[in-house]
Structure 1
Amino acid sequence: MPETRDDAAPEGHAPLLLPAASVALVGQVPQPREAPPPPPMPAAPEPPFTTITWWQLVDKLEKSGPAVGLAPGQDLTLTALTLFLVDLTAPFGYGVTLPTLALASLFAVPAGARLLLQDVVVVLSIIDLQLAMSGICSVHDTGAFPYSLSVVVDGGVVRLIDHTSRAPDENGTAGAGGEVRWINVTLTCPGNGVENPPCAARPIREGWELGVAALRTVRTVGPVMLSLASDVALPADGSWTQVGDRERVAGRARCC
């Protein structure tokens, strides 16, 4: 079992203030060591992640605000961690969008501060993951999706390959706070992700990926956003055909 920590905030109501200008919180990653003699039975592998669970702090977080407060000029880095937030309601807040994506219920990141999450898995409740997906690629505002090759909503989870957003400020104004950087971060839920996701978003770098995207998104309830690289060419095997007049309809094609 991964190491689990549930003491991520003090007992009082005030957020935990970082003591230094730059702080890094790193999970327990296995370190290379000299090979011992072969054991009689295979040794169990060390857990690659440290899990931080907040369930004992849910009431305090919902009543008194974020557990960790940064000051302007401070940096906080979280890497090789799993944040288990299933018991926390709306950890991203409400009205989720990609430009303003932030764990506002956990971290206060004012203007001038910076939060970096790298190689992190965020485990949400199914409802909160659905809300996050709906905000990222909403059917009500399809123009809000930035069409980024670094954001993937697929297979019932969200993968932030390399994304930068802005946290709310101390008054709760979305996008007016400090920088939040997401590198190789997965938003998921217990089980195998959302079974019928409200939307999907995939980068397309090669023509064959269009067919894969069509098959993988058949269970998606809402819109499917495809971010195409500038040099994508359709396969020449006849699986894609031109739709309509070639001179009048540019860029439209039909698969299979």
Structure 2
Amino acid sequence: GKTRDRVRVYHAIYGDSPSAVGEHARELMSEGYSAFKTSPVPSNWREMPWRQVLREADERMSSIRDAIGDGPDLAVDVHAAIRETALSIQLAKVITPYRLMFIEEPARAEFVESTAALRREFRVALATGENLYGLHRYTELLNADAVDIIQPDMLCCGGLLEAKKIAAVAEAHYVTVAPHNPLGLISTAAGVHHAASINNFTILEWHGDHKKKKSEFVNESWVPVDGYFELPTNPGIGMTLNHDAIAANPPGHWDRGFATYSDGTPGFL
């Protein structure tokens, strides 16, 4: 059965400059959201001297806080892109004063020792786990006391039943669950059902998919109201496929691709 009547979401903030992220944050505030997540650094941060990266991070966080005020929640996602533990600690010290909800993937989740070390250093909740598969990979993190918020992805962790097991083990460690959810409306529906069925849910990721072309592939329109999804009452996960739209858009090859830096190095992520 359900443990709540609605599910809170945070919306991603995009932009490569402090002014751009601030502008997007103001736009999202006008749509009723009260929680947000962004990258603390611009996409070309690897091309910058590290001191400039830290300065950019400070300016980005300041711009967003100026836009949203002190009340809304704000999280950051490092995308597991920093390999050096010491640099992640330095970044965290710069952005912590902006009253963060959590710092996501400051290290690769499979590098349990580094993640645990970062959690001991941080004064902000550490969130991770989007790329892990199966209960036992999450259990390694939990047993190492390496995480405050676990982030299973309904499409990657092993499905809804596996996510329930992961949440149960996390609950035994007093760890909350904030499902990873960048992959569309069907994933969102699964995430909402998961959130409704566990006690230790905290917040669900959301990327405004109702505004994107992919929304044509389902018949239902899911739009958060004041930053919350109401629980669906339709059968199943509450969503049905629009087969005409799917037939009109046959699947093709998709390649995520990687950036190439100015020295010719392929991007890590």
Larger RCO (alpha carbons 8 Å, 6+ apart): 2
Same fold (TM over 0.5): no
TM-score, normalised to structure 2's length?
A: 0.28
- Relative to its length, the structure with more helix (as a share) is 2
Q: 1 or 2, which has the higher strand percentage?
A: 1
TM-score normalised by structure 1 residue count = 0.29
